[in-house]
Chain A
Amino acid sequence: WQWLLVTMLSVCVHFPGLTESVIAAACSRVGQSVLHLDRRNYYAGNWASFTFNGLLSWIEEYKQKVQITESEQVWRSLIDEGEDVVPLSSVDSSISNLEVFCYARLALILLTTNTEHEVSEPEEEQHTSDISEPSQSQEEKDSQPISSPADPPVEVEKKITYQKLVKEGRRFNIDLVSKLMYSRGALVDLLIKSNVSRYAEFKNIGHILTCRNGKVEQVPCSRADVFASKQLTVVEKRMLMKFLTFCLDFEQHPEEYQDYTEKPFREFLKNKKLTENLQDFVLHSIAMVTQQTLTEEGLKATQHFLRCLGRYGNTPFLFPLYGLGEIPQCFCRMCAVFGGIYCLRHSVQCLVVDKASNKVKAVIDTRGQKISCSHFVVEDSYIRDEQRQSTAYRQISRAVLITDRSVLPSESDQQISLVTIPPLESSAPAVRMVELCSSSMTCMPGTYLVHLTCSSSGTAQEDLAPVVSELFHVSTIPGEEPSEVLWVMYFNMRDTSALDSSSYSLPSNVHVCTGPDGSLGSDCSIKLAESVFHHILPDEEFCPPAPNPEDIIYDGDGPQAEGPGFDESVNTEAEEEESNQE
Chain B
Amino acid sequence: MHGRVKVKSTAQQEEEKRKEREKKLKAFVSARDAVLRKRSAGEHDEEALQLTQQLLSSNPDFATLWNYRREVLLQLETSREKDEVQKLYESELHFIEACLKVNPKSYGCWHHRSWVNTRLPQPDWTRELGLCDRCLSLDERNFHCWDYRRVVVKESGVSVEQELQFTDRLIGSNFSNYSSWHYRSTLLPQLHPQPAPDSASNTSPSPTASPQIHSHRVCEEQLLKEYELAHNAFFTDPNDQSAWFYYRWLLGRAEREEMISCVYVSRERERVSVAFSKPVHAQSEGLMLVLDGQPQQVEWRSTHPRLRHSPVWLCDLPPGSVSDISNEHNLTVHWTEKYTHRDCALYTGCAESWCRDSATDQELFRSELSVEKSSVLQAELQSCNQLLELEPQNKWCLLTIILLMRALDPLGHEKETLAHFQTLKEVDPMRSSYYSDLCSKFLIENTILKMEYAEVRVFSLSNKNLTTLCHLDQLLLVTHINLSSNQLLRLPPQFAMLQCLEVLEADDNAIESLEGLYHLPKLEEVSLRNNRILFAIQSKCFIRNPFSAFRASAWFDLVSRSQYSSLINSYRLCRIMEGQQI
Contact = CB atoms under 8 A, between A and B. Distances in A.
Given A551-B13, A552-B5, A238 B172 contact: no
Nearest to B387: A238
A574 to B, nearest CB: 9
B7 A547 contact: yes
B223 to A, nearest CB: 17
B6 A552 contact: yes
Nearest to A554: B6
Interface string B224-235: 000000011101
Contacts of A314: 173
B7 A551 contact: yes
Nearest to A31: B4
A552 B236 contact: no
A227 B13 CA distance: 48
A264 to B, nearest CB: 25
B390 A228 contact: no
B175 A224 contact: yes
A552 B8 CA distance: 6
A235 B386 contact: yes
B410 interface: no
A339 B4 CA distance: 8
A304 interface: no
Interface in A259-302: none
Given A223-B237, A235-B390, A341 B232 contact: no
Nearest to B13: A551
Contacts of A18: none
A338 B1 CA distance: 11
A227 B2 contact: no
B409 interface: no
A215 B238 CA distance: 31
B236 A237 contact: yes
B479 interface: no
A552 B7 contact: yes
Contact of A227 (B3, B6, B233): B233
B465 interface: no
B230 to A, nearest CB: 10
Contacts of A339: 2-4
A108 interface: no
Interface in B47-61: none
Nearest to A245: B237
B328 interface: no
A224 B169 CA distance: 11
B118 interface: no
Given A237-B232, A238-B238, A227 B4 contact: no
B7 A224 contact: no
Interface in B189-236: 231-233, 235-236
Contacts of B174: 223-224
A239 B390 contact: yes
B172 A573 contact: no
A235 B174 CA distance: 20
Interface in B1-55: 2-8, 13
A223 B391 CA distance: 17
B509 to A, nearest CB: 43
A474 interface: no
A228 B237 CA distance: 12
Given A224-B172, A570-B2, A238 B8 contact: no
A234 B383 contact: yes
A238 B173 contact: no
A547 B5 CA distance: 9
A154 interface: no
A553 B16 CA distance: 14
Contact of B175 (A227, A239, A552, A570): A227
Chain B contact-residue range equals 20 to 34
Contacts of B383: 234
A551 B8 contact: yes
Most chain B CB within a 10 A radius of its CB, from A31, A227, A551:
A227
A555 interface: yes
Contacts of B231: 234
Nearest to A228: B172
Interface in A305-341: 314, 337-339, 341
Nearest to A240: B236
Nearest to B3: A555
Interface in A519-563: 547, 551-553, 555, 559
Contacts of B7: 547, 551-553
Interface in B357-391: 383, 386-387, 390-391
Interface string A232-246: 001101110110000
Nearest to B172: A228
Contact of A238 (B2, B3, B13, B235): B235
Interface string B161-181: 000000000001111000000
A238 B384 CA distance: 12
Contacts of B387: 234, 238
B232 A227 contact: yes
Nearest to A559: B8
Given A226-B236, A241-B237, A338 B5 contact: yes
B226 to A, nearest CB: 14
B395 to A, nearest CB: 16
B235 to A, nearest CB: 4
A27 to B, nearest CB: 14
Most chain B CB within a 10 A radius of its CB, from A235, A337, A551, A553:
A551
Contacts of A237: 232, 235-236
Contacts of B13: 551
A553 B174 CA distance: 46
Nearest to A220: B236
A558 B322 CA distance: 106
Contacts of A242: 390
A314 B391 CA distance: 26
A227 B236 contact: yes
A573 B3 CA distance: 12
Contacts of B237: 223, 227, 241
A570 B235 CA distance: 57
B6 A238 contact: no
B2 A341 contact: yes
A290 B238 CA distance: 31
22 contacts: A224-B173, A227-B172, A227-B232, A228-B172, A228-B232, A234-B231, A234-B232, A234-B387, A235-B235, A235-B390, A237-B236, A238-B235, A238-B236, A238-B391, A239-B390, A241-B237, A242-B390, A337-B5, A339-B2, A552-B6, A552-B7, A553-B8
The 7 nearest A-B residue pairs measured at CB: A234-B235, A339-B2, A553-B6, A547-B7, A227-B236, A237-B235, A238-B235
Given A237-B235, A237-B236, A341-B2, 7 more contacts: A31-B4, A228-B172, A235-B386, A238-B238, A338-B5, A551-B13, A555-B6
